[in-house]
Structure 1
Amino acid sequence: MLHKKGLLALFICWGVLAAAQESFPTPPATNEQLFYLQRNPNTNTIMCDLRLEENGELDKDNPVHVYWIRYAEKGQKEELSFIQRKFAYGVKTKRLEDGKYKLNFVSYSRYPMFLTRAADGKYHVFATVNEKMVILKSIFIKINKGGTFWSPNIEYFEVKGTDPATGTEVVERKKVLK
């Protein structure tokens, strides 16, 4: 029950379902972009970027900056609200050995991700897609009608990434574990 409630606004279901995932905008790539999350019922997008200090080094205490791009409004960037950050879209980070970090959304700890410097010398988020660790590019959450604000009716979440060895895009749809 706690995990179901924990999905809170990561999968918030507001209003009417939006168009198919294919019609969602692709956020412009930046040097800091790690991955992004989209979900129906609208095209507003959660961005997860690398947080750097003024000297260009990784912020070791808070390495991921999570914020909105409000495509359904004027396309503006906007910080998460307190509720969104603490119960939905915020990202927990735990520092591991060798400068690596374990990440997960505060509302769903059952899909771990890992921030690490890859062979290309850049930081990337790695996650399991089709039983293989890949560079995570995006997550899409399909919300069906029904459910409640605290417990939306999630059909699946789809993860896309790139195989670091081959450069091939990989995609997997996963059911939400309760």
Structure 2
Amino acid sequence: MTGHALTTLPRLCRAMTGICLLALVSFLVPLSASAAKPALTHLSRSETPQLPHVNRAFRFPSDAHQLFFLQRTLNANTVVYTAHFDKSGNLNPDAPVAVYWRRFQEQGQVMALRWYERAFGFGVRIQSTDNPQTLRLTFNGLKSQQLELRQTAPFKAALFARIEDREYRLIYAYLDVDESGLFPKVTRLRLYTNDPHTGLYVTHTIAVSGGAYTE
């Protein structure tokens, strides 16, 4: 192995570590599944009339047809999910969701996902349902958790999840990542949602243990 390869490999491993961990904990694997790694413990649930902004040094994306975004303590770069519609305003059956980086650490430009980010973490898979306005969505990094992508009006859609037997519209996730060790480790997940029944914003705070990457 060349010296260049030896230098590049740890960086690649660290990048893939963050991606896999982000995807693994972002969308709430069942909290009762104690054998799962990393282990998640629901710490609190709080309601607010306004959407909390965890780190005001990090910009919120405001892209057209935005469904969800994900930020981390590592830097301001943000993963954005948007809906794609056809000319009639219906979800595009061939490619209903786009996923990409907003490189806010730089100039805020769009950057495509790298192949390993798409394959092992942030990429999505879509399945049809009996309702043409509802699609099942799973993330490549967490195939056991199904979400619902619903068209709510022409050129409008939202992403929903069931959390503790209640349905919420997803808005964004924020991950606390500890970089003090050899590999990054996710220690806490904050998931920001909206309760469609009350109109309030609901923050779910979840502790993550065993979040270090192992091969």
Same fold (TM over 0.5): yes
**Contact 2:161–2:169 (Cα < 8 Å) also in 1:** yes
Greater relative contact order structure (CA < 8 Å, 6+ sep): 2
* Contact 1:45 1:69 survives alignment (8 Å): yes
Instruction: Tell whether the 8 Å contact from 2:127 to 2:136 is kept in structure 1 after alignment.
Output: yes
Mind listing any 5+ residue stretches in structure 2 that lack a counterpart?
1-15, 23-52, 211-215
SS, match of residue 91 in structure 2? coil
User: Residue 137 of structure 1: which of 166, 171, 184 is its match?
Assistant: 171
Moved over 3 A (4+): 175-178
Q: Please give the alpha-carbon distance, in whole angstroms, between the structure 2 residues aligned to 1:71 and 1:104.
A: 26
Identity of aligned residues (%): 27
RMSD (Å) for aligned C-alpha atoms? 2.6
TM-score, normalised to structure 2, is 0.65
2:61 is aligned with 1:51: no
Is the Cα–Cα contact under 8 Å of residues 134 and 161 in structure 1 kept in the other structure?
Answer: yes
How many residues end up aligned between the 2 structures?
161
The residue number in structure 1 matching 2:125 is 92
Give the distance between the partners of 1:168 and 1:70, measured in 2 at CA: 30
> What is the aligned partner in structure 2 of residue 17 from structure 1?
none
Q: 1:117 to 1:147 in 2, by over 3 A?
A: farther
The runs of 5 or more residues in structure 1 that have no matched partner are 1-5, 13-19
Whole-angstrom CA distance in 2 between matches of 1:177 and 1:131: 23
TM-score, length of structure 1 as denominator length = 0.77
User: Bigger radius of gyration, 1 or 2?
Assistant: 2
Secondary structure of the residue aligned to 2:116 is: helix
The separation in 1 between residues aligned to 2:166 and 2:205, in whole angstroms, is 14
2-side partners of 1:113 and 1:176: how far apart?
21
Q: CA deviation at 1:130?
A: 5.0
How far apart are residue 112 of structure 1 and its match? 2.8
